[in-house]
Structure 1
Amino acid sequence: MKLFASRPSYGLILSVVCAVFVSCGTENQSLKSRDRKISESIDVLGALPESVLDPADNPTSPEKVALGRFLFYDPILSGNRDVACATCHQPDFNYAEFLETSIGVNGSGSGSKRQFRLPNTIPFAKRNSQSVLNAAFNGLTNDRPYDPAQAPMFWDMRAKGLEEQALLPIKTLEEMRGHAFTEEAVLDEVIARLRRISEYRTLFSAAFPGETEPVRIQNLAKAIAAFERTLVATNSRFDQYMRGDSSALSISEKDGLNLFLKAGCAKCHNGPMFSDFKLHALGVPDTENRKESDAGINNDYAFRTPTLRNLRFTAPYMHSGKFQTLDQVLLFYEDIAGGKIENPHVTAGQMDPLVYELDLKFKDISGIVEFLNTLNDDTFDKTVPTRVPSGLKVKGNVE
């Protein structure tokens, strides 16, 4: 598998060096940021690989993918049989969802029309629904070996690999589990349900041949992960450009790329996925859908750098879903580079020092957004099964 794309044969290298003198809000931060240089070139970015790397213990197969697709769309995996993986990860929304934070269990409707059924004791999901598209490449950078089994998942990177990721929403109260089962018992309940359905027994046997009892938790995770590894979009115009087609981007889009690098965005948004896959504290405002402030996995308000790919289809943005447009996101970065902290629970000392190295100007925002749109690729698989083996509603209660 080719993990890192070659640079354009025409030798175009955009290299920018800018001095950053930003007021950081405190004397110590100002001293730290003064005289720092931003030096970024197109070499810190990259095209996506044209193929996906499977973990050694879960090689893909058509049978495994077919099973995984059914499981992804079947609400039998949820405690109340009303939510599927696809409820909050829909093809029309780039396998994400057009909501600030998701409504899982006890919800109905789709997109902005989704709401809780009454009476309701289930909270909103804690964070914005991240896209599953290209999650097969999570962890892929220019400077580290890529291991799909160790790929960081979720906003707080609490899971590694798509196999581990696949099971956690099933066990989470507000996402798929609900009140009917405990976190410890729900997976056993789901497996018992699947074993009672003859079609699923046949599908699991075909996907995992030779096993005495193929319908088990580990294979449930492997099948869903195998399907999710088929959900990739690897041929954006930016990918074409990085593979050598200089005409894939317009002059203004190339200018936007230059502005993106000049502003220092690639300090965190780098590599083929435009993510360093690290946790950063930025002081993003909390969602109002939850009463408690979200301090993240380490209680320091740091969250994983999201990919910038296919942003056209994945609004709203950030872990709390507080920004509806890319312009709002970039204005937020302009503010925090100037020392403004938008989350009252975050102190200046908690903010990631890299934000003070940004040199983002208001006049450059439209150009950067124009470049970001070259990262969109709408050619991914959007196939939705017409039925699922359980006989339940495909995608759960989304009507």
Structure 2
Amino acid sequence: MKSLPARLAFLAALVSWLFSVSCSREKPAGESRKKKTVETLADLGALPLQATDPADNVSSPEKIALGRLLFFDPVLSGNKDVACATCHHPDFGYAEFLETSIGVNGVGTGSKRRFKEPNDIPRGRRNSQSVLNTAFNGLNLTSSYHAASAPMFWDLRASGLEEQALAPIKTLDEMRGHGFAESEILGVVIQRLNGIQAYKPLFAAAFPGEDNVINETNLARAIAAFERTLVNGNTRFDQYMRGDSAALTASEKDGLNLFLSSGCAKCHNGPMFSDFKLHALGVPDADHLKESDKGAGEDFTFRTPTLRNLRYTAPYMHSGKFANLKQVLEFYEDIGGGKIRNPHMKPEQMDVLVRDLDVNFRDISRIVEFINVLSDDSFDRTVPTSVPSGLRPGGNL
């Protein structure tokens, strides 16, 4: 047995060691401890009830009516078989019920759409985003909103609905096809429109006082004017944010709180529930791709999508890989726990915000319940009975 002095010396040494271990866990002097930021209701917001027009494209009933016809007219595509509405149809919340788009040489609607045979057109790489509320793209709570610079597409390659409207016409697999070069297709489309007598008075009424009124600029302006009418900012969540506390049930409010505490609002914030920034999350590729889709800048980054109207626009993510919202949230649970679902990505490529995600399986159903509150079925579903070209409205559906 140790003597009393020896035991006292041992205890002193033990206390000294424990103290040194404790101190070693403290942050160095001057280094502030980082506290996890949790978003609040103030980081979200209600949508405006109507969109803002850019200064050079003020809306009018005539312009909107023309834009609707053009949106549904397949005369804008190389083979006259695809319209804007083919992949953005009212029946599917102005999106489509497919993982990724089938444009040129396709037939059918929704999950039944397929390529006709023979086929030499590649399938689209990405899921078709809804046109609903795209007039509000870029809207946030911290800076001024400019319709002309609104961020578009999964990779932000276009700004404003006017620029976005012409891009699919020039894209091989979406609307152009093999018959025309990218540099010539818009000229061909304008020549076709000038040759259709019924379009002439419609363009003249939409753009009064202009010479050579049927041109690329006015084609884009008309389509964009129509798309700015496709808004629905009066969901029950919007009503709640405007002061109606009874607009959400207790369970939906619980889901809202879980949505905030889990870190979802770090990217899905503001009135559109999107920061409109690029993030690398390791979303799995669509099954049909031969090469991985590396997104904007070849670094696997894609724009944060809005969470509005998701009830009508499945499947989800840029690859359309997830069939329902439960699968989406399970994906976020995985990446929050360090799992990378895209085998082509390296850990260092993942967005740093992933570290702040804390989605738990037990909370998923309540978060989904809240997200569904962001949907509103009171949007315009009008499909023209005919279009001036005489082709089938919406293309080969």
Same fold, judged at TM 0.5 (above):
yes
Matched residue, 1:267? 266
Matched residue, 1:213? 212
Letter in 1 for 2:246: S
Matched residue, 1:137? 136
Matched residue, 2:339? 340
Matched residue, 2:108? 109
Matched residue, 1:360? 359
Tell me the secondary structure at the aligned position of residue 331 of structure 1.
helix
Mapped partners of 1:283, 1:176: distance in 2: 29
Superposed displacement of residue 356, structure 1: 1.0
Matched residue, 2:226? 227
- Point out the structure with max Rg over C-alpha: 2
Tell me the secondary structure at the aligned position of residue 298 of structure 2.
coil
Letter in 2 for 1:206: A
What do the CA deviations read for 1:156-193 (whole angstroms, capped 9, x no partner)? 01000000000000000000000000000000000000
Given the two structures, how large is their TM-score scaled by the length of structure 2? 0.91
Letter in 1 for 2:265: A
Matched residue, 1:80? 79
Pairing of 1:1-399 with structure 2 (within 5 A):
36-398=35-397
Letter in 2 for 1:280: H
Identical counterparts, % of pairs? 69
Tell me the secondary structure at the aligned position of residue 40 of structure 1.
coil
Given the two structures, how large is their TM-score scaled by the length of structure 1? 0.91
Contact 2:49 2:231 survives alignment (8 Å): no
Letter in 1 for 2:194: R
Superposed displacement of residue 82, structure 1: 0.2
Mapped partners of 1:40, 1:131: distance in 2: 26
What do the CA deviations read for 1:212-247 (whole angstroms, capped 9, x no partner)? 110000000000000000000111000000000000
Mapped partners of 2:234, 2:288: distance in 1: 36
* Count of aligned pairs: 365
Superposed displacement of residue 285, structure 1: 0.3
The 1:263/1:159 distance shift into structure 2, 3 A limit, reads: same
Letter in 1 for 2:346: T
Matched residue, 2:21? none
| Stretches of structure 1 lacking an aligned partner (at least 5 in a row) | 1-33
Matched residue, 1:21? none
Superposed displacement of residue 289, structure 1: 2.2
Tell me the secondary structure at the aligned position of residue 375 of structure 1.
coil
What do the CA deviations read for 1:242-264 (whole angstroms, capped 9, x no partner)? 00000000000000000000101
Mapped partners of 2:113, 2:320: distance in 1: 16
Contact 1:38 1:262 survives alignment (8 Å): no
What do the CA deviations read for 1:269-294 (whole angstroms, capped 9, x no partner)? 00000000000000000001221210
Mapped partners of 1:349, 1:40: distance in 2: 25
What do the CA deviations read for 1:355-381 (whole angstroms, capped 9, x no partner)? 111111110000100101110100010
Superposed displacement of residue 144, structure 1: 1.4
| Stretches of structure 2 lacking an aligned partner (at least 5 in a row) | 1-32
Point out 4+ residue stretches in structure 1 off by more than 3 angstroms.
none
Tell me the secondary structure at the aligned position of residue 373 of structure 2.
helix
Mapped partners of 1:394, 1:160: distance in 2: 27
Superposed displacement of residue 35, structure 1: 5.8
Mapped partners of 2:389, 2:288: distance in 1: 32
Tell me the secondary structure at the aligned position of residue 87 of structure 1.
helix
Let me know the Cα RMSD of the aligned residues.
0.8
Tell me the secondary structure at the aligned position of residue 370 of structure 1.
helix
Mapped partners of 1:113, 1:326: distance in 2: 21
Contact 2:49 2:232 survives alignment (8 Å): no
Contact 2:141 2:270 survives alignment (8 Å): yes
Tell me the secondary structure at the aligned position of residue 38 of structure 1.
coil
Superposed displacement of residue 36, structure 1: 4.6
Superposed displacement of residue 40, structure 1: 1.3
Contact 1:66 1:227 survives alignment (8 Å): yes
Mapped partners of 1:146, 1:35: distance in 2: 32
